[in-house]
C-alpha cells in the first residue's frame, strides 16, 4: 500500500475519533487490547479469530512504548493484514506498512528532517525502536 493511502487511513481515524491514541481508537472500533507479561523478546501481536481482531501487548514496556506497539498492531488490522502478525514478523512489506502507520499515528512529521514517505523501511523501524523501552524493574 502506498504511503499516501496509509497516511490517509490514519488521518481519517484521527479525525473520526478526535484522537491519535491507539487504545481509544481500538475501543471505539471494538478491538480488544490486552496486556500480558511476556519476556522482553515478545513485544506485541494481533490475531483475528472468526473475524474479531485482538491485540496483545507486552506489559513490561513503558506507556509510550505500549502506544507505539498498539498503533503498529492497529495498523496491521486497519490495513487488512491477515493471520497472526507481530512486531518481529518475517513479512517485511506488512511490517513496513504497520510501522509507517504507527509513525503517522503518533509522531509529527514536522519534527523530522524528511517526509515519512521518503524514509526507508530501516529508518522507519529504527525511529520506532528508539522509542520502545522496557519499564525499569
Q: Whole-structure pTM over 0.85, yes or no?
A: yes
Residue 116 has pLDDT above 80, yes or no: yes
Least confident window among 13-27, 78-92, 109-123: 78-92
Closest by CA to 61, choosing from 87, 30, 84, is 87
* 83 neighbors 70 (Cβ within 8 angstroms): no
Rounded average pLDDT over 16-22 = 98
Identify the CA nearest to 130 among candidates 104, 101, 107, 98. 107
Around Cβ 11, how many Cβ atoms within 10 Å?
13
Give whole-number Cα distances, 30 to 23, 26, 55, 60, 92, in Å: 10, 6, 11, 24, 27
What is the DSSP-derived secondary structure letter of residue 136?
P
Bridge partners of 58, per DSSP, are: 36
Summarize pLDDT for 28-67 with one digit per residue, the tens: 999 999 999 988 778 999 988 888 899 999 999 999 999 9
- Cα–Cα dist 137/37, whole Å: 13
Residue 103 pLDDT exceeds 80: yes
Q: What is the rounded average pLDDT of the residues 12-38? A: 97
Amino acid at each position: 500500500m502506498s504511503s499516501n493511502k496509509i497516511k490517509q487511513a490514519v488521518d481519517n481515524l484521527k479525525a473520526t475519533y478526535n484522537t491519535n491514541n491507539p487504545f481509544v481508537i481500538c475501543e471505539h472500533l471494538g478491538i480488544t487490547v490486552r496486556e500480558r507479561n511476556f519476556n522482553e523478546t515478545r513485544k506485541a501481536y494481533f490475531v483475528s479469530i472468526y473475524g474479531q481482531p485482538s491485540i496483545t501487548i507486552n506489559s513490561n514496556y513503558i506507556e509510550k512504548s505500549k502506544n507505539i506497539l498498539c498503533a503498529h498492531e492497529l495498523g496491521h488490522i486497519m490495513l487488512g493484514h491477515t493471520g497472526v502478525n507481530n512486531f518481529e514478523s518475517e513479512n517485511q512489506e506488512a511490517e513496513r506498512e504497520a510501522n509507517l502507520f504507527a509513525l503517522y499515528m503518533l509522531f509529527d512529521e514536522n519534527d523530522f528532517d524528511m517526509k515519512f514517505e521518503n524514509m526507508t523501511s530501516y529508518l522507519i523501524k529504527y525511529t520506532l525502536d528508539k522509542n520502545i523501552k522496557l519499564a525499569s524493574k
